[in-house]
Amino acid sequence: MCGIVGYIGDKKAAPILLAGLKKLEYRGYDSAGIAVQEKKAVKIVKKEGKLDKLKSRTEEEVFYGRTGIGHTRWATHGRPSDINSHPHTDSFSEIVIVHNGIIENFRELKEELSAAGHQFKSETDTEVVAHLISTYYDDDLRTAVNKTVKRLEGSFALAVMSKQEKDKIIAVRKDSPLIIGLGENENFLASDIPAYLEHTDNFYILEDGEIADIRKNKVNIYKFNGDLIANKNKTKISWDAEMAEKQGYQHFMLKEIHEQSESLKRLLEDNLNGGQIDLTASGLAEDWLDNYDKIHIVACGTAYHSGALAKYLLEDKLRIPVEVEVASEYRYRNPIVDAGTLMIVVSQSGETADTLAALRLAKKKGASVLALTNSRDSSIARESDMVIYLKAGPEIAVASTKAYTNMVAAFYLLLVDGMRQRDNISDQITAEYTSDLIKLPEMIRKLSEQSKEQIQAIANNYEDKENIFFIGRNTDYTLALEGALKLKEISYIHAEAYPAGELKHGTLALIEEGVPVVALGSRADIFSKLFSNLKEVKARGAETLLITEENQKFETESVDHLIELPILNKDFAGLLAIIPLQLLAYYTALNCGEDIDQPRNLAKSVTVE
């Protein structure tokens, strides 16, 4: 979470910083602040709560400065409050800093600094960094920051200013993303590209272990060892500012649900040649399956769910062992990885720290790495051997929708390309799968439009529910996982997903009168098994919603609500089923009165002392 912005140039900094923070609201925050260099001091304004409070507070001040930094905070050290908000300073307000990430050894550093006479105002780890920089400062901010970061443990992104050096911002990246936007007589700093798309489409993407010295007319980037990085590659972003705006939709999530048809079309067009799947641009060999005896898929959250779905299909059709692991657990279990392993890492941002750490571990053990990512020139893209770019465009909403769809579709591309390489699968079957894949964008577009009002009406039944269960079998179970995550992520209703056949092993005891159960039945080959479980929950008084293909035969008395999907290849039908799940989450959250474009303030529950 958290967001960093910075500006240096010829314009007034404060309005640009506030606008940049507004574009990063989707990251979630509990407080916000800005610091602007004025003639004789650095003026700081920060407030707990929404950006509107900060904006109101800044309107009471007069800002002339042309250089500044800003931050939206999600509390980790210390409760949400004005004093714990960023920016932070040292004892004499000479050093000003904003920070994303966690300094793991802050307590030891704080004790050391306290013993030396430093006094702290806040409960944060960030303030400790400001004080440490001040101990090394001798009229050269970059050198002081460089000495400081060598003593820090953890993951962090920093933006630092000094009252004595009004012409620069120092930025640092270690395991937490930072980008630098490049303009004419002005430069920008941010955690994410959408913050400044309206100002520039040229960016430097900082890599781990880099320090940037940012002036209005130049940017120099150094390694932690002090070496200047010559000829740093610039990244030109193909997204435009309009793509990152709501374009008439009430919320970003709804906009992005309806963008899925176009974003999927971009991905397919990028990997089709003459009506045939062509993955050579990714770096995959034409006969890549022959090079590996197992596949490891590693990801987090929604990306993990896309990999869980892929496991069923890849093992079924390609007959290759596939393991799917949550990235945060992968490196702690000593996985069996060697040169015969293809690791597939999935990350929308390309900067997911746990996924990046797993990637590095696998590469050390000799594995080849294929990345599925939405972000060109991201850390994961750069460090992988092969990359399929998701082409989903900017995803601003709190809950991932179109990136998930394109992740699943990227696995479909791998599946069909792998089928081509298997002698036991005919060219005709491979061609049929390719044809079905090409049909998906238009089918998704129609389904999104046609099911919207029906799902809105179903969601009206859920706003006062405390628990909702999702069930499915085979790939439908992975869809149940994603549906439950989406619902609880933005509506804050407790939602759980279970393999349908596991209900009788304890979970059925939780099903009572009026509890909603969403059953995924997109796979015609096992529908009868799924429906027997649906009848079980209905017998206990559940309010049932069935999502299945049209014209499916079943006993209607067991189903309270029905959403029908267009008929498609059973292995691809799951991508249609996710559309009503996303819309259900959206409209349920809307009925619950949630601010869908921002996560609820969870700071009190995640505070670490």
Last residue in a domain, options 214, 237, 260? 237
SS3 for 393?
coil
Q: Please enumerate in sequence order all residues whose Cβ is within 8 A of that of 450, keeping only pairs 6 or more positions apart, or say none.
A: none
Q: Is 166 a catalytic residue?
A: no
80 and 196 belong to one structural domain: yes
Mean of per-residue pLDDT scores for the chain = 91
- On whether residue 433 sits in a domain, the answer given is no
pLDDT for the residue numbered 328: 93
497 and 375 belong to one structural domain: no
Strands of the 322-326 sheet, one edge to the other: 322-326, 294-299, 341-347, 368-373, 386-389
Give the residue-averaged pLDDT of 189-196. 89
199-208, 365-374, 421-430, 591-600: segment of lowest average pLDDT = 591-600
Based on the structure, what is the number of domains in the chain?
3
- On whether residue 435 sits in a domain, the answer given is no
265 and 408 belong to one structural domain: yes
Last residue in a domain, options 237, 253, 273? 237
Give the Å distances, CA to CA, from 460 to 176, 177, 389, 491, 540. Answer: 40, 39, 37, 13, 22
- On whether residue 431 sits in a domain, the answer given is no
Burial of 605 (0-12, 13-18, 19+ CB in 10 A): exposed
129 and 232 belong to one structural domain: yes
pTM recorded for the entire structure: 0.81
Q: How confident is the model at residue 600 (pLDDT cuts 50, 70, 90)?
A: low
What pLDDT, in 10s, does the model give residues 543-563? 999 999 999 999 999 999 999
Q: How far apart are CA 376 and CA 63, in angstroms?
A: 36
CA-based end-to-end distance of the chain: 18
pLDDT for the residue numbered 242: 67
Q: How far apart are CA 380 and CA 570, in angstroms?
A: 32
What pLDDT, in 10s, does the model give residues 142-169? 999 999 999 999 889 999 999 999 889 9
Give the residue-averaged pLDDT of 71-97. 88
- Cβ atoms of 251 and 597 within 8 Å: the answer is yes
What pLDDT, in 10s, does the model give residues 214-266? 999 999 999 999 999 988 988 888 766 666 777 778 888 999 999 999 999 99
52 and 158 belong to one structural domain: yes
For residue 194, pLDDT beyond 80:
yes
Q: Is 300 a catalytic residue?
A: no
Q: How far apart are CA 387 and CA 345, in angstroms?
A: 10
Its domain, for residue 545, covers 443-608
- On whether residue 438 sits in a domain, the answer given is no
For residue 212, pLDDT beyond 70:
yes
SS3 for 532?
helix
Last residue in a domain, options 209, 237, 265? 237
Identified catalytic residue from 121, 223, 439, 604: 604
Q: How confident is the model at residue 176 (pLDDT cuts 50, 70, 90)?
A: confident
pLDDT for the residue numbered 353: 87
CA 468 to chain centre: 24
For residue 50, pLDDT beyond 60:
yes
- On whether residue 215 sits in a domain, the answer given is yes
87 and 151 belong to one structural domain: yes
pLDDT for the residue numbered 608: 30
Q: Give the CATH number for residue 281.
A: 3.40.50.10490
Identified catalytic residue from 2, 43, 47, 50: 2
232 and 278 belong to one structural domain: no
For residue 1, pLDDT beyond 80:
no
